[in-house]
Amino acid sequence: MSRTDACLIFNPVAGQSDPEQDLAQIRGILEAEINLDIRFTTEDKGADEIAKEAIAQGATTIIASGGDGTLSTAAAALVGKNIPLGIISRGTANAFAAALELPNTIEAACQTILGGATRVVDAARCNNLPMVLLAGIGFEAETVKRADREAKNRFGIMAYIMAGLQELREMESFEAEIETEDKIITVTASAVTVANAAPPTSILAQGPAGVVFDDGLLDVTVIAPASRAGAIAASYHLLQTALNENAAQREDIGYLRTKRVIVRTDPPQKVVLDGELIGDTPIDVECVPGGLTIFVPQEAAPVFPVEKLEGLPGLKVESKPTSGFEQ
């Protein structure tokens, strides 16, 4: 089998594991078949800048390893480039991999890349910045702001949950104007989320029955609870919605799908884009259909139960002394 070349963008401070061990494991699996050009992110140089440099120098495959921030910024640099991206999650939440239905262990992620199967998925642009997962206004943005690195290192995924609960206690509503191609919606809300792809843990994006990431549309969810208790109930309902892939059924949750949306708020609200605060509203988000190519697991054949007999009336099963049939 001929060897291929790839640029591996590695964040040495992601997650809670030992980065040297992680890198050794990645190299141990991938370097049997891939020539890796390994480049490290720094405080001064992010994954997007490294990816753009590598592409300019002729890279035809990019592999990113780190947390959601590293993966999202690397992916953002590839939007519209038709260059496949390999994802190796090593972060706290691993929302990026979950949203795109990718494995979240190093071993499985590396095997996915070696498998070579790719899938074209949507991307988006938010205020002219590349967007892969979602833009959150209000609650989502404040939650990300609260879950700082020290808390994420100490508490892992619980950092986001704790930050979310803390934010619920201080929930404030705002006036939102949501403009699509064919309508303008005015509503009092506590959170507005515009998603291209979202994992179940991004509960505020889960109004529709599953956020579809290759349909050419954005999924907009509006949360408008009347009280803190309502906010908690709505959040729980949305989590169930995500896990069961059913559409939200509460009156204080609204959702729609659209190719482009402009959201204005009064007063201005903080905006988080793919896990990073980018400023305040308004936002203008437009879907980029088929804007990103990612390595995905090979489609496994469904595994069906071989046998199910329990529960049949009058059931009796005896083992035969020898296998086979009498002639």
Q: What is the pLDDT of residues 86-104, one digit of tens each?
A: 999 998 777 788 778 889 8
Residue 45's domain spans which residues?
A: 4-116
- 170 within a domain of the structure (yes/no): yes
Q: Which of 83-87, 167-171, 176-180 shows the lowest per-residue confidence on average (mean pLDDT)?
A: 167-171
Q: How far apart are CA 287 and CA 216, in angstroms?
A: 6
What's the CATH code of the domain at 110?
3.40.50.10330
Q: What's the CA gap between 83 and 55, in Å, rounded?
A: 9
Closest to 68 (Cα-Cα) out of 105, 101, 96: 96
Q: Which of 33-37, 140-144, 283-287 has the lowest mean pLDDT?
A: 140-144
CB-CB contact of 141 with 268 (8 Å)? no
Average pLDDT, integer, range 195-202: 62
Task: State residue 231's pLDDT score.
Answer: 58
Segment 53-79 shows an average pLDDT of 92
Does residue 80 share a domain with residue 163?
Answer: no
Overall domain count for the chain: 2
- Alpha-carbon distance 230 to 252, whole Å? 8
Residue whose token pair is 């002219």 = 128
Give me the amino acid identity at 189: A
Do both 270 and 140 map to the same domain? yes
Average pLDDT for 31-54: 96
Q: pTM score, two decimals?
A: 0.72
Question: What is the rounded CA–CA span in Å between residue 25 and residue 27?
Answer: 5
In tens, the pLDDT along 22-37 reads 999 999 999 999 999 9
DSSP per position, 192-205: EEEESS--TT-GGG
Please state, for a pLDDT cut of 90, what percent of the chain lies above it. Answer: 39
Query: Within this chain, do residues 111 and 138 fall inside the same structural domain, yes or no?
Result: no
List residues bridging with 288 in a β-sheet: 123
Q: How many helices (H) and strands (E) does the chain have?
A: 9, 16
Q: Is residue 325 part of a domain?
A: no
Specify if 124 maps to a domain: no
Predicted confidence at residue 308, as pLDDT, reads: 45
Q: Report the distance separating Cα 8 and Cα 50, nearest Å.
A: 10
Residue 121 lies in a domain: no
- Nearest of 234, 165, 239, 254 to residue 201 by alpha carbon: 239
**CATH code of residue 155:** 2.60.200.40
186/287 Cα distance (integer angstroms)? 22
Same-domain pairing of 110 and 204: no
pLDDT, the chain, mean: 77
Same domain, residue pair 181 and 263: yes
What strands, in cross-sheet order, belong to the sheet with 253-258? 253-258, 218-223, 191-195, 134-138, 270-273, 276-280
